[in-house]
Structure 1
Amino acid sequence: MTEPGSTEPDTAEPTLRKDAALNRERLIEAGRDLFAKRGLSATLNDVARHAGLGVGTAYRRFANKDELIDAISQQQNKEMEQVLADALAEPDPWDGLVLFLERSTAMQARDRGMAQIFTGRHSCNVSYDETRDRLAPLVDEVAARARNSGQLRADVTGTDLIFIQVALSSVAAVAQDGHQPADRSDTSELYRRYLWITLDGLRADRDPSPLPVPPLSVDDTHELLRTEA
């Protein structure tokens, strides 16, 4: 604090704000790293230790783990939004659809926490509403472009692409958790095999079988994937 009459600026408060912001970013970075490896079962205490910070510091920046997950989810939404923008920028609509599914499933395969958030296995209502409002229209547009070009079968919608990601992230999780065969070093890439089998099934130039269940609407999809608050 400055003495009366002094012209020296009081730098204590700006320094505290800067330290608080840096600690928040350290916690988000540590949370992403830890959740990517261990999933969302890791605690806020675990994240604090991983960040090299005290537990009290963590709880001053985030009241609970859900607040940290929500902050991470907002970052992930931006990253997925960029993937979708790149997909929509592809001149060929089918290439755009493939790009979206390849990149989005790769991101979730290497980040267990992201996969759990995007498949609704843990997300607060605010972040999940943001995911629906920001990303779902772009996913629908990726599907519509490919469908309207005659390359994607006519009965496939954007919500189908979401559930394909849910399925493939489950394959990736099984491959990560399972006992690794001694003669294989590529099990972390196993989900890609099923992605390409799926892509063949999505193409309109095949002779598709009638689908036994209709697609869900966007609202129904997000209601199904939403966890209880």
Structure 2
Amino acid sequence: MTTAEPGLRADAERNRDRILAAARRLYAREGLGISMASVAREAGVGKATLARRFATREELVTAVFADRMDGYAAAVAEALADADPWHGFTSYIENVCAMQAADRGFADVLTMTFPAARALESRRDEAYHGLVELISRAKAVGRLRDDFTSEDVVILLMANAGVVAATADAAPDAWRRLVGQMLRAYAAPGGELSALADAPAPSALYRAMIRAGRAE
């Protein structure tokens, strides 16, 4: 029995790694709507094995996106370290939206709450408090509109998640146009603005609309 333990532990660790790798692939490609059963099939393990490693969806999501939530919190810290509050604010928005564009699952994570996933929510809270400070600083130097609130960032992330999901195949850079236009809406009058990304080609948007229709 004693000699079998190391082998059992190694098998369990391999299964855990396979599950995480499968979940990352599926979440990045399809978003968080993927079922636990689909993750088990992708990993090549049984549902019982998946349940032993991750009893709930929240546990799996936490394990998959822990590093990305660290990156999310780090983006706020980096923005706060910028000597130019407006540049820090715009860089933060662009970086976080780029993280969404790179991973549809993470795009969903940023627009959902997971009360049972305490580690994930703790990092989100940390990032939120930094964001509030970032907004205050950008307003103090007269570059961000006075009526802008942290809730506007949540709305933007929800909108960006939708754009990423709808255009990922046909117009993968469409989110950049959305973010650029929204930053112009957030800016106080008279400030210098960075160049706006080109609009997607009409044909690319049409393909995205067809794809979205088929998904319904």
- Hey, what's the Cα distance between the residues in 2 that align with 1:92 and 1:189? 27
Please state how far the C-alpha of 1:14 moved relative to its aligned partner: 4.3
Write out aligned runs for 1:200-211 (5 A).
200-206=184-190
Secondary structure of 1:205's counterpart equals: coil
Residue 125 (structure 1) aligns with: 115
Please state how far the C-alpha of 1:129 moved relative to its aligned partner: 4.0
Specify which of 45, 56, 66 is matched with residue 53 of structure 1. 45
Closer/same/farther in 2, CA of residues 150 and 15 from structure 1, 3 Å limit: farther
- Pick the structure with greater CA Rg: 1
Residue 191 (structure 1) aligns with: 175
Residue 212 (structure 1) aligns with: none
* 1:176-212 alpha-carbon deviations (Å, 9 max, x no partner): 37xx4xxxxxx111111121111112222349xxxxx
Write out aligned runs for 1:208-219 (5 A).
none
Contact 1:38 1:113 in 2 (8 A): yes
* 1:11-36 alpha-carbon deviations (Å, 9 max, x no partner): 54344334423432332232122111
Write out aligned runs for 1:102-113 (5 A).
102-113=94-105
Residue 13 (structure 2) aligns with: 21
- Hey, what's the Cα distance between the residues in 2 that align with 1:161 and 1:113? 18
Contact 1:48 1:54 in 2 (8 A): yes
Write out aligned runs for 1:48-127 (5 A).
48-120=40-112, 123-127=113-117
Contact 1:142 1:158 in 2 (8 A): no
Residue 165 (structure 2) aligns with: 173
Q: TM-score, normalising length from structure 1?
A: 0.72
Contact 1:168 1:194 in 2 (8 A): yes
Closer/same/farther in 2, CA of residues 152 and 26 from structure 1, 3 Å limit: same
Specify which of 137, 143, 149 is matched with residue 145 of structure 1. 137
Closer/same/farther in 2, CA of residues 94 and 25 from structure 1, 3 Å limit: farther
Query: Which letter does structure 2 place at the counterpart of 1:199?
Result: L
Q: TM-score, normalising length from structure 2?
A: 0.76
* 1:123-156 alpha-carbon deviations (Å, 9 max, x no partner): 4313374354222101112212211222212221
- Tell me the percent identity: 37
Please state how far the C-alpha of 1:39 moved relative to its aligned partner: 1.6
The 10-residue stretch of structure 1 (193-202 or 63-72) with the greater mean CA deviation from structure 2:
63-72
Secondary structure of 2:172's counterpart equals: helix
